[in-house]
Chain A
Amino acid sequence: MEGKLSSVAKNFTPSPIQELSQLAQRCNAINLAEGFPDFPAPPCIKEAAVSAINNDFNQYRHVQGICDQLALKMKKTHGLDVNPLTDIAICCGQSEAFAAAIFSIINQGDEVLLFDPCYETYEGCITLAGGIPVYVALEPPQWTLDPEKLMRSFTSRTKAIVLNSPHNPTGKVFSRDELEIIAEGCRRWDCVAITDEVYEYITYDNQKHETIAKLPGMQERTIITSSLSKTFSVTGWRIGWAIAPASAASTIQNIHIRITDSAPAPFQEAALTALRSPIEYFETLRGVYELKRDFCMKLLGSVGFRIQFKPQGSLFLFAELPKDCLLSDVEYVEELIQQAGVVVVPGRGFFHGNESCKYQKRYIRVAFCKSEATLNAAAQKFGELINAKACPKIVY
């Protein structure tokens, strides 16, 4: 049997991140690591799900109304014309929509551009489909996009570029100019843009999220993926979608059907309610998260962090360790768990590429999609440390 395992499988070794996760669990740490809320989902959406279960929406289904709602939203928000009957595939979360999108267009040897740092799962999907991930580093501390670096990364083998905006982990929202640069690359090299827009409604300081699909020449070569999860605090419901030109959407639908066949039926029904939420819902969402973002920035500031890049969107703060801190990201996170009982994510897992840049081990990611109680508890712990003046490794 051993002989039948792949060589990849045989190289498996435990990672420091896995060990930190276990440490955090043992210490029952306050969780500012995971990217999902610890406060309840909106009541009316939960009620819609409950109602769907009671009304027997429990067998395989495809709820066309979701596509209708999404098409309306695309028109209203981005001015895009999307045909709800042909251009949208409902999937089990953005995760599945992305996987299906990758499988639909990536062949063995195709290169896919990714911005670095980035969410880990993209690479796994691409590799599973036989593609080759190629990283284009965003430059700290502002995570700027270097147009020349980007253009140099395109080759004749480049099939697609993945664009996650608002961005996990940095909180960057790609500007119109940056989208233009990326679009230019796509047009010039005849590539597809696959977007992950799960944080589309979570932007700050009057920043607006724009989809690259609305730029000239882009709708026909963009696959948009997104979901209910972050907008409606229901990451466990697995309702997402892909929006693309009809041929791509139908292929994605084909693949989705072979992978899972149907997204959970009662939650599709609830999605109808969610997507019809009034504009006030989204404004409140933004406002609430902005306050939490500011709170977290202050929190880190109080222990010596100098936040050079204020998140413009998403649920994360990506902060560089204080200059005086000699620890690596993993060491800092470990100290934070043990001394303060707070867990965050070491940034190194988000970086890839061949650049052995020191900064890749100098960042932590803090998730602020947490209840007031959680954030206050974290603040209290930090306060204790500051007052005790006994924690030189955390307080700077």
Chain B
Amino acid sequence: MQAAECTWTHFEMLRPLCFKSPSTTPLFFNFSKHFQKGFSDSSFFRSNRRISNYPSFMATISSLSTHKDPVSTHDATPNITHQPVQVAKRLEKFKTTIFTQMSMLAIKHGAINLGQGFPNFDGPDFVKEAAIQAIKDGKNQYARGYGVPDFNNAIAARFKKDTGLVIDPEKEVTVTSGCTEAIAATMLGLINPGDEVILFAPFYDSYEATLSMAGAKVKCITLRPPDFAVPIDELKSTISKNTRAILINTPHNPTGKMFTREELNTIASLCIENDVLVFTDEVYDKLAFEMDHISMASLPGMYERTVTMNSLGKTFSLTGWKIGWAIAPPHLTWGVRQAHSFLTFATSTPMQYAATVALQAPDSYFAELKRDYMAKKAILVQGLKDVGFKVFPSSGTYFVVVDHTPFGLENDIAFCEYLIKEVGVVAIPTSVFYLNPDDGKNLVRFTFCKDEETLRSAVERMKEKLKKK
């Protein structure tokens, strides 16, 4: 008989950290302050109804349809009485409306999509087959909350290979539904309301959202072109004994920047000095082209205060499987596991078995991955330069940001709309990744996680139709 993996072992979990949100209104339609959504924001309903979180906003192109605003069709219920709720400032900043408008335009104009942050090719057969085998073998029930043991072991082995650090898979690894959930669980599990957290802009938009769910006070440091280097003086003046944590995404979405050893060392010493935690998002670590990827956790004195997060999706082109993980010392893992157990409880079982196989892929897999992406990058980067963009160097990820101002449009959103309508190519306006949108208005992001033909076609279209002013 199978040994007990009892779902009731979570009884021993104690109350996790509480977090505050200020609103006290009892009405149903007054949601907790961070998530108020106005009925005036009806474009949300009119278009694809999916708030376009950054990497996935194009995902629903195939399921888009035009439809009317919702009309109550209830028979017996009385009128819903409510005041139209003002859209919270925070939600405005997320620019979700922009994304949905972009999606609609893209379809309407048959644009080539270099905006969406996921591949238009699929993952390797050996990983897919492992998932299929797991389903057939009956691995379809709840996995252990913090991960299937074999998978935790594989994560630890991979981490050792990549960083040299030896960790305990049972006590220091937590499996989550994608790196997105690892980030949410880390924030909710380790950040108290009112804690200061430092973010580098531009940033993946879920960071800000989950930080606001955790009630954190966000302090933002902007990385600027051309090299998006960390402004050390600004960092020194921002970090203090009041700082609870700093979030680092390297290789960095959207700029492709990779934090250098020097930068990481400086950040590390400031963190040690001020007793600050570090949360790292390293999902693009295998897409490191111009330099070696460095994990903050591997720096002296840093493992004990770092949560290292990663996922399967980007490395294995299986972004929809939602397999991620967080590696941290036991006292931090505890907080992550607490929150995780209340967010999703357990992660997809068959995919964990497949991920175990994936992480054990031979070096040749990763070498080939890099080669493929570098070839794609060359096509795009050269193409963008030929077209006339100012292209900033991107050391890692499958993104590159460019300055669009040579083409005379007033800001990034206007440029992207123009690009879709007149040229037939999609890029992402980067202003959505900044606390202050103005910081991003000259920049747009292209992705090269597409097959070569798509990349070439997009470049051709831009060469043909995009003219400098």
A-facing residues in B319-350 (Cβ within 8 Å): 319-322, 331, 334-335, 338-339, 341-350
Q: By the criterion CB–CB under 8 Å, are B9 and A17 in contact?
A: yes
Within 8 A of B (CB), among A340-389: 343, 345, 349, 374, 377
A254 adjacent to B60 (CB under 8 Å):
no
Given contacts A53-B131, A124-B342, contact A253 B50 (CB under 8 A): yes
Q: Determine the residue in chain A with the shortest Cβ distance to B56.
A: A60
Q: Is A260 in the interface zone, CB < 8 Å from B?
A: yes
Q: How far is the CA of A221 from the CA of B77 in the complex (A)?
A: 11
User: Cβ of A12: which chain B residues have Cβ within 8 Å of it?
Assistant: 14, 334
Q: How large is the interface on B (under 10, 10 to 19, 20 to 34, 35 or more residues)?
A: 35 or more
**A345 partner residues in chain B, CB cutoff 8 A:** 6, 8
Contact across chains for B7 and A36 when beta carbons are under 8 A apart: yes
A262 CB contacts on chain B under 8 angstroms: 56, 59, 178, 319-320, 322
Is B44 in the interface zone, CB < 8 Å from A?
Answer: yes
A6: CB under 8 A from chain B?
yes
**Are A1 and B275 interface neighbours, CB within 8 A?**
yes
B351 at the interface (CB under 8 A from A): yes
The verdict on A294 contacting chain B, using a C-beta distance below 8 Å, is no
- Given the complex, which residues of B lie within 8 Å of A37, measured CB to CB? 141
Residues facing A in B47-93 (CB within 8 A) are 49-51, 53, 55-56, 59-60, 63, 65, 67, 70, 73-78, 80, 91
B300 close to A (CB within 8 Å): no
Check B140 against A233 for contact (C-beta < 8 Å). yes
Residues of B close to A224: CB separation below 8 A = none
Tell me how many residues of A have a C-beta within 8 Å of chain B: 113
In this complex, the member of A3, A50, A93, A124 whose beta carbon has the largest number of chain B beta carbons within 10 angstroms is A124
List A residues 18-68 near B (Cβ within 8 Å): 18, 21, 24-25, 28-31, 33-38, 40-41, 46, 49-50, 53-54, 56-65
A53 close to B53 (CB less than 8 A): no
Q: Is the interface of B mostly helix, strand, loop or mixed?
A: loop
Q: Check if B375 is an interface residue, CB within 8 A of chain A.
A: no
Partner pick for B70 among A3, A83, A157, CB 8 A cutoff? A83
CB distance from B115 to the nearest CB of A (A): 13
Shortest CB distance A100–B (Å) = 9
CB-CB under 8 A from B437, the residues of chain A are none
A8 interface residue, CB < 8 Å from B?
A: yes
Complex formed: what's the CA distance from A192 to B26 in Å?
10
Q: Which of A212-229 contact B (CB under 8 A)?
A: 216-221
Give A187 Cβ to nearest chain B Cβ, in Å: 10
Other-chain residue from B60, B304, B331, B341 in contact with A62 (beta carbon distance below 8 A): B60
Q: Evaluate contact between A28 and B1: CB separation under 8 angstroms.
A: yes
| Among candidates B59, B140, B176, B344, residue contacting A60 with C-beta atoms closer than 8 Å | B59
Chain A nearest Cβ from B2, distance in angstroms: 7
Chain A residues contacting B465 (CB-CB under 8 Å) are: none
Contact partners of A260 in chain B: CB under 8 A: 176-178, 180-181, 184, 322, 343-344
A288 contact set on B, CB distance < 8 A: none
Interchain CB contact under 8 A, A50 and B21: no
Cα A291 to Cα B237 in complex, Å, equals: 69
Residues of A within 8 A of B118 (CB): 59-60
Contact of B74 among A14, A109, A219 (CB under 8 A): A219
Bound form: Cα–Cα A394–B140 in Å: 33
The answer to whether B135 and A46 have CB atoms under 8 Å apart is yes
The reply on A238 being an interface residue by CB < 8 A is yes
User: Which residue in chain A gives the minimum CB-CB distance to B137?
Assistant: A40
Q: Is the CB of B12 within 8 A of A18?
A: yes
The answer to whether B119 and A59 have CB atoms under 8 Å apart is: yes
Q: Closest 3 CB pairs between A and B? A: A265-B320, A236-B349, A15-B12
Contacts A17-B8, A38-B141 known; list 4 others, CB within 8 Å.
A6-B17, A53-B132, A61-B60, A235-B142
